[in-house]
Amino acid sequence: MVKTAAQTLDDFAQAKLEALEAQALRRRLIETDRREGAIAFRDGRRLVSFCCNDYLNLSQNEEVKRAAIEATGKYGVGSGASRLVSGNHPLFRTLETRLADLKQAEDCVVFGSGYMANMGIVPTLMREGDLILADELSHACLLSGSKLSGARIEIFRHNDMAHLRALLDAHRNAAQHCLVVTDGIFSMDGDAAPVEEMAEIAAQHNAWLMTDDAHGIGVVGHEGRGSSFMGATKAAVPLQMGTLSKAVGAYGGYLCASKAVCDLVRTRARTLIYSTGLPPATAAAAIAALDFMRTNPDYCRRPVEKAKAFTRALGLPDPESPIVPLILGDAEVTLAASAMLEKEGYLVTGIRPPTVPAGTARLRFTFTAEHDDADIARLATLVRERILPRRAAE
Ligand SMILES: *Cc1c(COP(=O)(O)O)cnc(C)c1O
C-alpha cells in the first residue's frame, strides 16, 4: 500500500527521533514549577535549581511582580500589533532609555526576545559581499542571524585573538563591511570574551564589534553593567546586544547602540517590524528589574560570589561569571550525573551537543543571588565525591 504524505511525514520524524535517542541526544520537556529562591518542583519533589539563568532571582522579586501586575491591570495583556503599527507604548521608551543609560549608549531598541534581536540586527547590518567573523562558541542565534544575512562567515577559535587577526588580514579587504560577533560571557562555558582587545583589533580593521551580553547584564562588570564594563573603563563596543530574560528576570531582547544604528534597526529589522511588541507587563517588569539593579549594585555581585564559593570548594579556578561548566565529555555519563544530583535534590541539567561541541557534554551549574551557602557546599561535596572520580576514570 502506498503511504500517504501524513504517514511519510510521521515516519520521517520517528526515524529521526530514534536515531537521536540512540545517541542519547533526544530532548524532552519536563514539567517543572519554578518558585522563589531558585526552588523548583518536579513530580511533587522540591529541588534547588542550579541551572536557571535568573541570576538575580528577579523573576520572583516582589517589586518586579507588582510592576507587571499593575501594568496588566492598566494596559491589558497583549500589545495588539507590531510597535510600528499599533503605536509604541510609552513603557517601551522608558525601558529603552533605562537600558541605554545602563550601557552608556546613545540609544536602544527592544525586541521580542534575544533570539529575535540577533535574527534582526545582523541581517540589517550585513549582506552579501560583507564579512562576519564569529567566535566558534557564539550563541546559536548569533550564528543563525549571521547565516540569514548572506554575508561570508569566518569562524575564529574560541577567544583566540591571533586567529581573529589572521582572518581579518586574510579576508577583510575583499569585503565591503565587516562585523565581529561574540558572546560577552559565553553561555555554556561562563568565560568572558576579551572585549577590550577585540574592540582594538576591530577598530584597526574598520570592523564593527557586536557583543551578545545575555549572561553579562546584571551580574558582571561595574555595577552589573555587563561585559563591556569589566575593565577600568568602558570597552568601545558599538553594538551591545543582550536579553531581558536572564538576570533581568523578564523577557525580551535589546540592542544598545548609536542613534543612527538604532534608527536603522527600527526601520529595517524584520523581527522587529513583523512581530508583535512585548506585552506591557513584560516591559514594566523589565523596567522595575533594571531599577532594582541600579539601586542594589552589591546584590548584583552575589551570583559570581556564590559561583566562586563552589569552584573554591572544588579547587577549580575562580569563575568570571555565575556559570561554571563541568565537562564530562560523554552525553550518557552527563545524563547519569544529572540524574544522581536530581535524586539528591539538585536540579542541574546536562548540556549535550549540538548545544555544545561533540565530545564536550557537560553539567552547567549556574548560581543565583538567593542560593543558600549550605546547598552550595553540599552540591560541591556531591560533585567531588560522586562525579569527579568517575570523570577521572573515563
Ligand atoms: C539566551 C541567549 C540568547 C537568547 O535570548 P532569549 O531572550 O532567551 O531569546 C541569546 N544569546 C545568548 C548568548 C543567550 O545565552
Domain boundaries, the chain: 25-55+322-393, 60-295
pLDDT band of residue 394 (cuts 50, 70, 90) is low
What are 283-315's pLDDT values in tens digits? 999 999 999 999 999 999 999 999 999 999 999
Q: Is 146 in the pocket of ligand 1 (CB under 6 A)?
A: no
Whether 209 shows a pLDDT value over 90: the answer reads yes
CATH classification number, 25-55+322-393, choose in 3.40.640.10, 3.40.350.10, 3.40.50.720, 3.90.1150.10: 3.90.1150.10
Q: Indicate whether residue 253 lines ligand 1 (CB < 6 A).
A: yes
Q: Is 5 left (phi over 0), alpha (psi -120 to 50) or beta?
A: alpha
Q: DSSP 3-state assignment of 326?
A: strand
Residue 172 backbone class (left: φ over 0; alpha: ψ -120 to 50; beta: rest): alpha
Q: Would the CB of 191 count as within 6 Å of ligand 1?
A: no
Q: Is 249 in the pocket of ligand 1 (CB under 6 A)?
A: no
Query: 10 Å Cβ neighbour count for 138?
Result: 24
- Ligand 1 pocket, residue 338 CB under 6 Å: no
How many other C-beta atoms are found inside a 10 Å radius of the C-beta of residue 373? 11
Query: Is pLDDT at 225 greater than 60 in this prediction?
Result: yes
Per-residue model confidence (pLDDT) at position 25: 85
pLDDT of 341 > 90? The answer is yes
Q: Is the pLDDT of residue 172 over 60?
A: yes
- Residue from 141, 142, 158 whose mutation best tests the ligand 1 pocket (most atoms within 8 A of CB): 141
The structure's pTM equals 0.95
Give the distance (Å) from ligand 1 centre to CA of residue 243.
Answer: 6
* Helix segments in the chain, DSSP class H: 5-22, 62-75, 90-102, 114-125, 140-149, 161-171, 195-204, 259-268, 270-273, 280-295, 297-314, 331-343, 373-382, 388-393
Contact 323, 365 (CB under 8 A): yes
214 lines ligand 1 (CB under 6 A): yes
Ligand 1: nearest atom to the Cα of 117: 9
Give the burial string for 175-209 (b: 16+ CB within 10 Å, else e).
beebbbbbbbbbbbbbbbbbbbebbebbeebebbb
What number does the ligand 1 atom closest to the CA of 215 have?
Answer: 15
Distance 187 CA to ligand 1 centre (A): 8
C-alpha 381 to ligand 1 mean position (Å): 31
Banded model confidence at residue 81, pLDDT cuts 50, 70, 90: confident
**Residue 286 DSSP SS3:** helix
Q: Does residue 392 register a pLDDT over 80?
A: no
Q: Which fold has domain 60-295?
A: Aspartate Aminotransferase; domain 2 (3.40.640)
pLDDT of residue 86: 78
60-295 matches 25-55+322-393 in CATH topology: no
DSSP state of 192: B
Matching residue, cell 561570508? 152
